Structure 1
C-alpha cells in the first residue's frame, strides 16, 4: 500500500441518502469517483447486501462488493458518508456508511481498524459530533497507518 486508503475527498459529512439502497449507491459512487473501482463494483455492493447485511453495529454499515467483483477493483480505497438522521438498515439505525474496496486482501486490515474505532462508543460520538468532513477525516486518519 503506497497511498492512503482513506482520502479526504472520500469523506462526506452530510450524506443525502434516506434509504439503505441510496446509502449504498452514495458510498459506492465515491469509490468510483476516486478511480478505485468501476461502476460494476457498485452493482456488486447491492448483490452483497442482498445475501448478507453489512450492518456492523454502533450506527455503522460497511457496504462492499462480492468476491466475484474483485476484477472491478482498481485500487484499495474507503469512502465514508455520515448521515444527519439515522437510515433504517434492515431495522437498525445507521449514521455511517463506509464503502470499502480492497485489493489482495488489503481491506482486511482496514476493516479491523474501522472496527476498533466503531467499537468505542466515545469515538463514535466524536464522529457524530464532528463539525466538518475535515474533522471526520482527522478522527479517522489512523486507518491509513500501516
Structure 2
C-alpha cells in the first residue's frame, strides 16, 4: 500500500448522511490535487449505481469508470467516523466507521480497492482504525499492510 500522508487522514468526523461522507472524501482528494471537481460528483453517482459499502463497517467511496479521466494522480484518504454513518436504507442499516476515499490512476484503482478490501477483511484491523486516537496510529497500521 502506498505511503499515506497524514494530512489525508481525518479523525473523529461526523456525517448526517452517506452523501455528506462521500462528498467529504471527494473534497479531500480534490484538495490534495488528486482529482478534478467532476470526480466528486462521480463518487456520488458510483454509490447510487452500486453501494460503496464493503461490510465490516467499511466504505470505499470512489468514482465511476467514466470518471477516471478526472483523476490527476492516485490518492487515498481515510476518514474515521466513530459514531458511524448509515450507508444502508431506512429498512436496513449499514453502519460505516471508516471511509477510504480513493482515486486511482490507470491500474492503481483496482489495486487500491483490493489492498483495502484485503486489509479490512480482518475485523481486528478495522477496529484498530476505528479506535485510533491519532493519525500516526492509522498511518502505522496501514504502512504494515
Whether the 8 Å CA contact 2:3–2:143 is kept in 1: the answer is: no
Normalising by structure 1, we get a TM-score of 0.90
In the TM superposition, what is the alpha-carbon distance from 1:135 to its structure 2 partner?
Answer: 1.2
In the TM superposition, what is the alpha-carbon distance from 1:5 to its structure 2 partner?
Answer: 5.8
In the TM superposition, what is the alpha-carbon distance from 1:99 to its structure 2 partner?
Answer: 0.7
Normalising by structure 2, we get a TM-score of 0.90
Q: Which residue of 2 aligns with 1:59?
A: 57
Q: How does 1:67-78 map to 2 (within 5 A)?
A: 67-78=65-76
Whether the 8 Å CA contact 1:60–1:96 is kept in 2: the answer is: yes
Stretches of structure 2 lacking an aligned partner (at least 5 in a row): none
Identify the range of structure 1 (54-63 vs 134-143) with the bigger mean alpha-carbon deviation.
134-143
Whether the 8 Å CA contact 1:5–1:78 is kept in 2: the answer is: no
Residues 1:83 and 2:85 aligned together: no
Q: How does 1:1-146 map to 2 (within 5 A)?
A: 4=2, 6-90=4-88, 91-142=93-144
Whether the 8 Å CA contact 2:14–2:85 is kept in 1: the answer is: no
Structure 2 CA distance for partners of 1:124 and 1:33, relative to 1, 3 Å: same
Q: Helix, strand or coil: the match of 1:94?
A: strand
Structure with greater strand share of residues = 1
For 1:108 and 1:132, the matched residues in 2 are separated by: 28
In the TM superposition, what is the alpha-carbon distance from 1:96 to its structure 2 partner?
Answer: 1.0
Structure 2 CA distance for partners of 1:37 and 1:142, relative to 1, 3 Å: farther
Equivalent pairs, count:
140
In the TM superposition, what is the alpha-carbon distance from 1:115 to its structure 2 partner?
Answer: 1.1
